Amino acid sequence: MSETVAAAELKDALMEHLTLLAKSARHAGLGVSVEQVATLVRALGTFAEDDGSVIERSALKRLVGLTLGTCREDLVVLGLLVEALFPAPGNEPGAGQGDEDQARLRARLFAAVKQGNRGEGAELGMMFAASAGDPGGSEGRGRLAQRVIRALDLSAMLAEALAESDELDPLRRQLARIAREATLSSMEVALHAGLAQRAALARTDDAARDRPVDLEGLVDELARLPIAGGRRADQDRLQEAVRPLATRLAARARRRRRGGRTHLDFRRTIARSVASGGAPMELRYRRRAPRRPQIVVLADVSGSMADYASFTMGLLQALNDELPGLRCFAFVDGAGEVTGELLSRPAALGAQLPAIPGVVATDGRSDYRTAFLAFERASTAVLTPGTSLVVIGDGRSRAADPGDEVLRRFSHRVRHIYWLTPEPETDWSEDDCHIERYKRWCHRVDSVATLGQLEAWVERVISSR
């Protein structure tokens, strides 16, 4: 498949597309200046003169990233916008891939699986995406991808390929299995990417060319992915979404601060009315100065909670401009502070959390009371009347005493206590779950299991006054 953008087409609509790209980037929270756009135009002109007729999609992304991006994480956001605003010829939404029907494509996929050909698997994934239904329909891209995968019956395909394997050596047989599984995984990743691209292109038809691309719409499928406990491929996609999500949340917070609440300033209004003979012809207002919340996080990192807590703390760390005073602590049966260096790498954070000094004090089994007491000793100067304490945990303490009296003491020292848990509310009263006991000392308790729910929760915390 061609991944190029025709130079003639780019030249005809260059300024229109680049202007919309800049508007979309600003809408997503990136600070794109007129000078940066001018630099991009000059770079594209130089590139076109050197290369001749075409500009590869990957080269276009690199040029946009180098000229409009200010940090490495911006490349993810700009890449999505390039996909949406500069569609490759032949990749129109709903376009088929020749006359090959589903049965023939499935046969090709089976052959690729048997050979362990990941490149062929990825190409077929894009073909299945192109011949699938409408990714912008009511069922969404996620369900559409699941429908395609169910129709292909990938587990049966893998089992059949393994059954036909003629490898006798156990090691070679295991390596062949890994290669075949990787081929199916590459097909799934390409399928999701192809559906995302089609949905993005559908949003940029001629009637909507004058509006910025909504970055939230480009990543809406991720909102339904579970934060913890999902497939490794989904977890990798979530890690890639951390920076775009943080960028959107920060942009909303800045718009909210600029728009802030206003109140009538009676004194200035009366003073101004002197010029009109005492009639208050012009009302004066005072703005409420926005306050960035001071957040302290206390996260349970035992067992499966490690990935959940590391992702959440990584997202909060990415909002460093909006949460300048963020402090993070991890606990199991002790408590220790997580450094900013670790928080900047959420993908590698989960495995390292239990190794932080003080986090595991004895046998490494959850003990909320002991951990709360250790945190209380370590947080003498951290918890203040202006602080919001965020506790991340499932509330499942193996100790006889859950330590809710320590949480009560915390509630008298801080402004708010938020409790964030992956557990559904129906499980909060189970025998080993004490969230109902903790709830009485919390400002609010939220069950957050997906990326979309986490985004709404973080926005609510950032906007708290």
User: Cβ–Cβ contacts within 10 Å for residue 334, how many?
Assistant: 21
Question: Do 221 and 206 touch, CB atoms closer than 8 A?
Answer: no
Do 196 and 141 meet the contact criterion of CB atoms below 8 Å apart?
A: yes
29-33, 89-93, 232-236, 411-415: the lowest-pLDDT one = 89-93
**Strand 416-421 to 387-392 pairing:** parallel
pLDDT of residue 77 exceeding 50, the answer is yes
Tell me whether strands 335-338 and 327-331 are parallel, antiparallel or unpaired. Answer: antiparallel
Q: What is the pLDDT of residue 373?
A: 93
Q: What is the mean pLDDT of the chain?
A: 75
Confidence of residue 141 (pLDDT cuts 50, 70, 90): low
Q: What percent of the chain has pLDDT over 70?
A: 70
Tell me the per-residue pLDDT of 253-262, one tens digit each, with 9 for 90 and over.
776 665 555 5
In terms of C-beta density within 10 A (0-12 exposed, 13-18 middle, 19 or more buried), how is residue 201 classed?
Answer: buried
How do residues 90-132 score in pLDDT, each as one tens digit?
444 444 444 446 778 888 888 888 888 888 888 888 788 877 7
- The domain ranges of the chain are 4-85, 102-218, 294-462
Q: Helical H runs in 138-207?
A: 140-152, 154-163, 170-202
Residue 409 has pLDDT above 90, yes or no: yes
What is the mean pLDDT of the segment spanning 246-270? 71
* 174, HSE (Cβ side, Cα atoms, 13 Å): 3
CB neighbours (10 Å) of residue 222? 22
> Which has the higher per-residue pLDDT, 39 or 9?
39
> What is each CA distance from 171 to 159, 168, 326, in whole angstroms?
18, 9, 49
CATH superfamily of 294-462: von Willebrand factor, type A domain (3.40.50.410)
Show the tokens assigned to 176.
């062949």
Sign of CA dihedral 203, 206, 209, 210: negative
| Burial classification of residue 360, based on how many CB atoms lie within 10 Å of its CB (0-12 exposed, 13-18 middle, 19 or more buried) | buried
Please name the residue that has the structure tokens 């480009």: 218
Q: Is the dihedral of CA 147, 112, 178, 76 positive or negative?
A: negative
pLDDT at 48 over 80: no
